Amino acid sequence: MRRRKVLNSFPAGDPYGSRPAEEYAARCRERGLRATVVMDLDRDAFLVVALDADAPQRAA
């Protein structure tokens, strides 16, 4: 199983839907991270996660 780290989260109620999360993930991929967007139903948020174990932690 791959280790994942949450890089950022975006509210699912955003008027633009998942677009901000997708754009953030695209910028992460440009920097070489294997980032993707997943939905966290419990928190009602889109999460940008890095699949690499050495990905930086999410800024608080």
Provide the token pair at 18: 């998942």
Band (pLDDT 50/70/90 cuts) for residue 57 is low
Q: Per-residue pLDDT averaged across 8-29, rounded?
A: 96
Q: Per-residue pLDDT averaged across 32-55, rounded?
A: 89
| DSSP one-letter code for 21 | H
60 vs 11, which has greater pLDDT? 11
58 vs 38, which has greater pLDDT? 38
Query: What stretches of the chain show up as alpha helix (H) in DSSP?
Result: 19-30
Average pLDDT over the chain reads 87
